[in-house]
Amino acid sequence: MLDIKFIRENPDAVKENIKKKFQDQKLPLVDELLELDKENRAVMAEAQELRSARNALSKQVGILMGQSKKDPSKLAEAEEAKAKVKANADRLAELEAKETDLAQKIHKILLQIPNIIDPSVPIGPDDSCNVEVQRFGEPVVPDFEIPYHTQIMESFNGIDMDAAGRVSGNGFYYLMGDIARIHEGVLAYARDFMINKGFTFCIPPFMIHGNVVEGVMSQTEMDAMMYKIEGEDLYLIGTSEHSMIGKFIDQIIPEDSLPQTLTSYSPCFRKEKGAHGIEERGVYRIHQFEKQEMIVVCKPEDSMKWYEQMWRYSVELFRSLDIPVRQLECCSGDLADLKVKSCDIEAWSPRQKKYFEVCSCSNLGDAQARRLKMRVKGADGRTYLPHTLNNTVVAPPRMLIAFLENNLQADGTVKIPEVLRPYVGGMELMVPKK
């Protein structure tokens, strides 16, 4: 969410940014907002004048009533002043109601206007215009056929989607045996990987209030993702970023505690509304999964440095598991409204002979901080808005697809990278059950 003062002073820049995000339908919102803001400031100014006049008149009434005891003629003046106080009070009540109404309308529009993107973001309408920046590791296509990922899992008796369909419907799964163990081992390895980078491990609430949802994401994202608990002001989180950033709602953070570097585990729940592939076989796009996330809250001048560091952590982790990856810069039309800059880390799929998304790193500037009323108290006593960033560490079972395909051997076994072995009981090789 942008500062209304910035929009007031830079309406053309805000409109140009909307065009760069290919959201021309939102252009009228800027002028509508400015008109409402103008009206609201006029209402506030009149209300302040009336409050000042009320105080002066009330004082005058007190003086006249005191004088009327000696001079009855002053009583009429006192009654006249009282009538003015009453009229002012009635008008003030109208203005305050109007102030509330205008503030709500302004806030609703502010939530819809996208954040100003970084100048380095490539311009394009959708993810087809995302730009490959660099590759890490050599993508290899083996000389044997790689089965579909669920077939690999089934060879280890490691997945049952039919039973999950009977119990929960499409988009769910049972993981079992060695596959389930690898799943949890990867999460534990990712946790320790981030702890060793200096991040504080956290397990957050898995449900959050509606005002936190509004604070951390756009309405479009919310409608497409969030499951609401019927009859309660609670939503299941789609990622632990939601509750981790929500942790700071209405808080003043001491500047000397920055940066806040946190890594959080959580299950994630997503409707995947309108998403292609939810009906397809497999675990690439599902309603429920687990994830290790990294979160940073920092000074504004440090956020781009952290952005660069965070996506490199993802690269380092995936390369330690012998998975080739690439960094893909997200174009303007592919950025969610709160994001200033974002990139995806994509893993190599030997079966498909292409890369697919496994991590998403984002710098949201001060948008979430403004929505959540997060502030930092500086050494000079002044407060300012921090910047927030987030990035996926790992999100199995999607990550398992890349892991299994890149570590599969011709005989159907799957080699276990050395760094992961302590988390799976020292196992060096997974051997198929059938």
HEC sequence for the chain: CCCHHHHHHCHHHHHHHHHHCCCHHHHHHHHHHHHHHHHHHHHHHHHHHHHHHHHHHHHHHHHHHHHHCCCCHHHHHHHHHHHHHHHHHHHHHHHHHHHHHHHHHHHHHHCCCCCCCCCCCCCCCCHHHCEEEEEECCCCCCCCCCCCHHHHHHHCCCEEHHHHHHHCCCCCCEECHHHHHHHHHHHHHHHHHHHCCCCEEECCCCEECHHHHHHHCCHHHHHHHCEECCCCCCEECCCHHHHHHHCCCCCEEEHHHCCEEEEEEEEEECCCCCCCCCCCCCCCCCCEEEEEEEEEEECHHHHHHHHHHHHHHHHHHHHHCCCCEEEEECCHHHCCCCCCEEEEEEEEECCCCEEEEEEEEEECCCHHHHHHCCEEECCCCCEECCEEEEEEEECCCHHHHHHHHHHECCCCCEECCHHHHHHHCCCCEECCCC
Round to whole Å and give the CA distance between 363 and 390: 7
Residue 66's pLDDT band (cuts 50, 70, 90): low
What dotted CATH number matches 127-430? 3.30.930.10
Mean pLDDT over the full length of the chain:
91
Tens digits of per-residue pLDDT, 224-277? 889 999 999 999 999 999 999 999 999 999 999 999 999 999 999 999 765 555
Q: Within a 10 A sphere around the Cβ of 319, how many other Cβ atoms?
A: 14
Confirm if 160 and 176 have CB atoms less than 8 A apart.
yes
Residue 74's pLDDT band (cuts 50, 70, 90): low
Maximum CA pair distance of the chain?
111
Confirm if 273 and 396 have CB atoms less than 8 A apart.
no
Chain centroid to CA 318: how far? Answer: 23
Is a pLDDT exceeding 90 seen at residue 289? yes
Round to whole Å and give the CA distance between 84 and 56: 11
Share of the chain above pLDDT 70, in %: 90
Identity at 401, one-letter amino acid code = I
Could you give the count of Cα atoms lying within 13 Å of 271 in the half-sphere of its Cβ?
14
Residue 196's pLDDT band (cuts 50, 70, 90): very high
Round to whole Å and give the CA distance between 373 and 214: 12
Q: Please write down the long-range contacts of 153-161, taking CB distance under 8 Å and 24 or more positions apart.
A: 153/179, 153/400, 153/404, 155/412, 155/432, 155/433, 155/434, 156/414, 156/430, 156/432, 156/433, 157/433, 157/434, 159/283, 161/281, 161/283
The C-alpha torsion from 60 through 65 and 67 to 68, rounded to 10°, is: 140
pLDDT of res. 279: 47
Task: Give the closest residue to 103 by CA, choosing from 36, 169, 28, 57.
Answer: 36
- Same fold? 4-110, 127-430: no
Lowest mean pLDDT among 281-285, 310-314, 375-379: 281-285
Question: What spatial distance separates the first Cα and last Cα of the chain, rounded to whole Å?
Answer: 54
Round to whole Å and give the CA distance between 43 and 222: 33
Is a pLDDT exceeding 50 seen at residue 158? yes
pLDDT of res. 310: 98
The pair phi, psi for residue 117, each rounded to 5°, is -75, 155
Residue 220's pLDDT band (cuts 50, 70, 90): confident
pLDDT of res. 83: 66
Q: CA-CA distances (angstroms) from residue 170 to 235, 277, 285, 291, 393?
A: 21, 11, 10, 20, 26
Confirm if 235 and 186 have CB atoms less than 8 A apart.
no
Record: fold of 4-110: Helix Hairpins (1.10.287)
pLDDT of res. 88: 72
Tens digits of per-residue pLDDT, 126-149? 999 999 999 999 999 999 999 999
Tens digits of per-residue pLDDT, 81-122? 556 766 777 888 889 999 999 999 999 999 999 999 999 999
Sequence spans of domains, the chain:
4-110, 127-430
Task: Give the closest residue to 50 by CA, choosing from 14, 113, 94, 105.
Answer: 94
Q: Within a 10 A sphere around the Cβ of 237, how many other Cβ atoms?
A: 27
Average pLDDT, integer, range 347-374? 96
pLDDT of res. 35: 97
Average pLDDT, integer, range 407-432? 97
The pair phi, psi for residue 108, each rounded to 5°, is -60, -40
Tens digits of per-residue pLDDT, 3-23? 999 999 999 999 999 999 999
